[in-house]
Structure 1
Amino acid sequence: MKILLLEHPRTIRSERCNDIANTPLASCLLSGYTAGMLISEGHEVEVIEGFLEGLDYQEIERRVKVFEPEIIGVHMVYHWQTDMVLYDFLHKVKAERLASYITAYGYYPTTDFEDVLLQCPDIDSVVLGEPELTFAQLVKAVSCEDCLENMLGLAQRDDSGTIVAMRRELIGDLDALPFPVRTKALFRLPEINLQGSRGCYGGCTFCYINPFYGQGSQWRGRTPENIIAEIDELIARHQIKSFYFTDPNFFGPGERGQRRALHLAALIKSRNVKFGIEARVNDIHDDTVKALVEAGLNNILIGLESGSDRSLQRINKLTTVAQNEKAIRILRKYGIEPSVGFIMFEPDSFLEDIRVNFEFLKRNDLVKDLSITANVLYHHLIVLKGTRAHRDLKAAGRLEVQASTYESIVTLRDPKVAVLAMIMRQTTNFLFDIMSGIWGGQVAEPENAQERYTKINSVLVTLFENTLTTMEAGGHFTEEQVETLVRTTEKEINKILA
């Protein structure tokens, strides 16, 4: 059977450029793993990279007509709106009989499947969670014209039009999965993505990793030998020297996770490659980091989230400020300057929490590099359907649904914190917009770039601290004063870059 997997086009909205939580990096291999599974079962599969290749729907339609698929699978990625353009395209596919069956998969449709199926009648089903086994079973049923009723892992309409959904068990042995198929577009990325594990043993209120898998906090890892086999294949076939593990929790739990990481480091070391990972701060141990760095680790993202123990408890991070600081020290000891996740403005923050956050950032030298400063001085807690934060805040009547039912806005409890957040959001959005070409590598850096960036960094830090100090002293900002302050700061940044 011929199956087409679509990575649909999606827009980059400048006002959301710093809101990275629309889909996790791990989702980038969902189509690849699905394609690998289907090909292993003898099907013909084509992946269209609508996003990475910058395709419009006219070109995608042309490719669909050339391939003539019987089934189209759409990896739906939330891009801060209900994607009516995609839905219109899928309607055309059905109306012109370019494919007989359409299914969607991914983090977004898994937790918003009811609205996706209601909004787009042309989507026949949604694959829930891990797509490989469900998609393969779906293809078998469609090819044999079997009944899809009661299929595990699928959300669909029954004969009465009622949406029914049933989860399937998680894949227990990740080593049993075929390696993911990678397109030419994926090979053009500066680092080749790898997935060494799935799930997380944590339970952060804002995270939608575990709701996607649907089985609680169950972390599963591939064996180091299986991961190395994939790395060796990529090196042999494509001369790859740089990798990035997209796992949201690279290490896995406890001593077992540390031993696995040490074993993997020992295997990678002789390959002479570089790689990056993402991890929880409580998993950053001296001996393990040392071994990983010696094996080629050169970058890491850690989710600090806050410099306030009170905030960490509210978001159920299950870590402490002391652990945050210890992780930073260990990584710097071995020459790794971490990228950090940081939620400056969580829903129940008060000015004292913001002050504690700011002092933490200064104390740990996290507001000295412009690209880091711009991230940590503004980020709010993004509330997506399926998360504990969404459930709890909805029950408390604090959510306001926006353009998509998948995302909601929560009003910050402290009005002064809300004003500071507004000032920093507008300012950092402006900065990310004008720096996007430079940071994205499309535009050359200006003369004396580092000197200019240092000045802009000082502008951001001073703006934040002066505004916070004014509010702590009882000061208020009218809408007009906020507008004036933001515009004045933008002009100052433009002048430095001119």
Structure 2
Amino acid sequence: MENNMSIENFDIAVVILVYGENYEVADDLVAGYITAMLRKNGHSVDIIEIDKDNENIGLDYLTSKEYKMVIFTIPTSSNIPELINFSNYVKSKNPICNTVLTGWDHHSAPIDIDAVIRSSEAIDVIIRGEGEQTVVELAELLYKNESLDNCEGITYRIGERIVTNNNRSPIACLDELPFPARDTHTRHAYESFRISSARGCLGNCTFCPVPAERVSGNLPWRGRTPENVVSELKELVNTLGIRHFMFIDPTFEDPGEKGKERIREISRLIIKENLNINFLVNMRAENWSDSDRELLELLYQAGLESVTVGIEAGNERTLRLFNKRAHIQDFFTFINLMKDFNIYLAYGFIMFHSYCEIQDLRDNNNFLKDAGIGHMMGAYLIKLKAFPRTQIFQKLQSDNLVKTTQNGIYSLFDYKYIDPRVQRLAEKMDWVGQQLNVRPDIHFYNIQKFTTFVSRIRRKIEKSDNQESMKHLLPIENAVEHMKSSLNELNHKWFSQCIDWVEHNGKDEEFDNIMNKHFADLKVEYDKVKSVQMRSGRGLIRVMNM
């Protein structure tokens, strides 16, 4: 049958789920990139948000128009049940539309593709791997009502039959991609954006989705040129006024010395263009040493404000389980380097997992204290996210530690613990996390936010060379460091008590007493943050406006 519809009328919706931990709608680069690619090729595309707290509003808007293609992006938190339910709803309202799930690389969770597409007849296609080229070809074929047999990188449904086509090679030259669409900024006026300057990672951590998504024979890492990266930054600064960015590259400095030269040139161009930005990056500790001080200074001058490093564990046994290339001493070296350059350190840590022993908990607790980073209470609560197809998931399966789940749909925490005591404490830490979420009076966010603010003041003073202002800043910095040190000691003592409690099969009411005491102690420390903010606020504002 001849298709007389124009491509502009083949309406497409790209749907973002505003779900999951620290997941911001403005940061969905999967949606941004595939939208930009589709528009570049003449398609009409709307970006639609479905908010966890207002699902009906988003769904009503999505089904108010007869879209020919509805594309759901897969969040990093892998909200598969929601994606299935929403696909079912869309199909019930618009049976002729084509529903598609897509994600790519480290920006979405690996899923059991076969199990997901078989779980619902409402899901027509799942795009595997990077979606920009695939989604354009798929849209063209659906628009022309042609066969999908030769479309690489998809798994799709033909009646009751599921077909898996050949893999599509990752995009070799990332500079050829258009800059991602940023539609949601106009709706929410976000002050920061994520930037993807590279894809892939040379690491091979057993729990990480990135190596799980690699296609055999393809390059594990590809990077944009410094000129292309800074061109996007410049455009966002000049057109949207954005000055705060997070580079979501799994490892900013990959691959090796060539990678360090690449980020050196990015820094030089940022300074040359006088962009006056702040940015966050991810790094691997083993890649950095005292010989890199010149590069770190340049990064700092360009605006490097915060670094996230994957520490994950406080002993060598667990580091080897996770296939981390770093050793404990590498982390101490890296932490000290960041402190020397006044760069805020965030870190990944996995306190609980199936193979965790009581001694591992003690080692982790002691490491956090000795490294001086135990002030962040969240580090004591984190459980392994066991993504399907990762190496650690495969090990869990071979050791019969994966729980049986309905219809093959797997939650990221559906695994058993070898030591029931560790499991008991992990479950208690879930409750602690819930308490922190509803108790802003004892949440560390105040210190983190204040520390970042003070860091930006320091940069401003350093650029002005106003030593008199620096005299006012130093006492504030010292006060913040003192509070972090106090919390570091306090959390170490508290978690030691928790380990002792579970090791000796303590009663639930005893744990409640431990937590009540700790929450009271935390509030005393957090009140100090407010006190420092009140005493120093006016002075800092004067410095900011100098």
User: What residue in structure 1 maps to residue 397 of structure 2?
Assistant: 394
SS at match of 1:407: coil
Q: CA deviation at 1:161?
A: 1.3
Are residues 1:489 and 2:515 paired?
yes
Quick one: distance in 1 between partners of 2:439 and 2:348? 22
> Matches of residues 376-415 of structure 1 in structure 2 within 5 Å?
376-401=379-404, 404-415=409-420
SS at match of 1:8: strand
Quick one: distance in 2 between partners of 1:121 and 1:109? 22
User: What residue in structure 1 maps to residue 129 of structure 2?
Assistant: 129
Q: 1:335 aligns with which of 329, 334, 342?
A: 342
Q: CA deviation at 1:406?
A: 4.9
Are residues 1:365 and 2:372 paired?
yes
Quick one: distance in 2 between partners of 1:160 and 1:90? 17
SS at match of 1:412: coil
SS at match of 1:260: helix
Q: CA deviation at 1:102?
A: 1.1
User: What residue in structure 1 maps to residue 223 of structure 2?
Assistant: 221
Q: CA deviation at 1:435?
A: 2.8
Quick one: distance in 2 between partners of 1:175 and 1:189? 25
> Matches of residues 233-382 of structure 1 in structure 2 within 5 Å?
233-269=235-271, 270-284=274-288, 285-367=292-374, 369=375, 372=376, 374-382=377-385
Quick one: distance in 1 between partners of 2:513 and 2:497? 16
Quick one: distance in 2 between partners of 1:188 and 1:24? 12
User: What residue in structure 1 maps to residue 437 of structure 2?
Assistant: 432
Quick one: distance in 2 between partners of 1:465 and 1:204? 28
SS at match of 1:49: strand
Q: Deviations over 1:281-327 (max 9, x none)?
A: 12334332221111110011111111211211111011111111111
Q: CA deviation at 1:183?
A: 1.9
The amino acid of 1:6's aligned partner reads: V
- When residues 260 and 59 of structure 1 are mapped into structure 2, their CA distance, relative to the original with a 3 A threshold, is closer
Q: CA deviation at 1:421?
A: 3.2
User: What residue in structure 2 maps to residue 198 of structure 1?
Assistant: 199
SS at match of 1:430: helix
Q: CA deviation at 1:145?
A: 1.2
User: What residue in structure 2 maps to residue 36 of structure 1?
Assistant: 36
Q: CA deviation at 1:365?
A: 0.7
The amino acid of 1:103's aligned partner reads: V
User: What residue in structure 2 maps to residue 74 of structure 1?
Assistant: 72
Contact 1:299 1:339 in 2 (8 A): yes
Quick one: distance in 1 between partners of 2:445 and 2:101? 30
Q: CA deviation at 1:39?
A: 0.7
User: What residue in structure 1 maps to residue 88 of structure 2?
Assistant: 91
- When residues 376 and 463 of structure 1 are mapped into structure 2, their CA distance, relative to the original with a 3 A threshold, is same
The amino acid of 2:168's aligned partner reads: R
The amino acid of 2:38's aligned partner reads: L
Quick one: distance in 2 between partners of 1:101 and 1:247? 31
Contact 2:17 2:73 in 1 (8 A): yes
Contact 1:2 1:69 in 2 (8 A): yes
> Matches of residues 12-51 of structure 1 in structure 2 within 5 Å?
28-51=28-51
Higher relative contact order (CA 8 A, sep 6+): 1
- When residues 391 and 332 of structure 1 are mapped into structure 2, their CA distance, relative to the original with a 3 A threshold, is same
Q: CA deviation at 1:133?
A: 0.5
- When residues 332 and 399 of structure 1 are mapped into structure 2, their CA distance, relative to the original with a 3 A threshold, is same
The amino acid of 2:499's aligned partner reads: L
SS at match of 1:290: helix
Contact 1:265 1:292 in 2 (8 A): yes
Q: CA deviation at 1:408?
A: 4.7
SS at match of 1:133: helix
User: What residue in structure 1 maps to residue 532 of structure 2?
Assistant: none
SS at match of 1:318: coil
The amino acid of 1:353's aligned partner reads: D
User: What residue in structure 2 maps to residue 5 of structure 1?
Assistant: 14
The amino acid of 1:77's aligned partner reads: P
Are residues 1:161 and 2:175 paired?
no
- When residues 134 and 47 of structure 1 are mapped into structure 2, their CA distance, relative to the original with a 3 A threshold, is same
Q: Deviations over 1:204-233 (max 9, x none)?
A: 110112323434770111111100111111
The amino acid of 2:164's aligned partner reads: V
User: What residue in structure 2 maps to residue 61 of structure 1?
Assistant: 60
- When residues 437 and 106 of structure 1 are mapped into structure 2, their CA distance, relative to the original with a 3 A threshold, is farther
Q: CA deviation at 1:455?
A: 8.0
Quick one: distance in 1 between partners of 2:219 and 2:366? 32
SS at match of 1:141: helix
Q: Deviations over 1:314-373 (max 9, x none)?
A: 110111111111111111110013001111224323233322222221111112x3xx1x
Which structure has the larger Rg over C-alpha atoms? 2
Q: CA deviation at 1:142?
A: 0.8
Query: Which sections of structure 2, spanning at least 5 residues, go unmatched?
Result: 1-9, 451-478, 525-546
TM-score, with structure 1 as normaliser: 0.85
Quick one: distance in 2 between partners of 1:309 and 1:24? 34
Q: Deviations over 1:127-183 (max 9, x none)?
A: 111110000000110111110124211011245513424321111100010110012
- When residues 60 and 26 of structure 1 are mapped into structure 2, their CA distance, relative to the original with a 3 A threshold, is closer
RMSD of equivalent CA atoms: 3.3
- When residues 40 and 217 of structure 1 are mapped into structure 2, their CA distance, relative to the original with a 3 A threshold, is closer
- When residues 148 and 93 of structure 1 are mapped into structure 2, their CA distance, relative to the original with a 3 A threshold, is same
Quick one: distance in 1 between partners of 2:367 and 2:44? 54
- When residues 25 and 47 of structure 1 are mapped into structure 2, their CA distance, relative to the original with a 3 A threshold, is closer
Are residues 1:101 and 2:98 paired?
yes
- When residues 485 and 402 of structure 1 are mapped into structure 2, their CA distance, relative to the original with a 3 A threshold, is farther
SS at match of 2:414: strand
Contact 1:155 1:163 in 2 (8 A): yes
Query: Which sections of structure 1, spanning at least 5 residues, go unmatched?
Result: none
> Matches of residues 109-188 of structure 1 in structure 2 within 5 Å?
111-158=111-158, 161-185=161-185, 188=189
SS at match of 1:83: helix
- When residues 113 and 408 of structure 1 are mapped into structure 2, their CA distance, relative to the original with a 3 A threshold, is same
Q: Deviations over 1:84-121 (max 9, x none)?
A: 5x534433432333752111112667532212212221
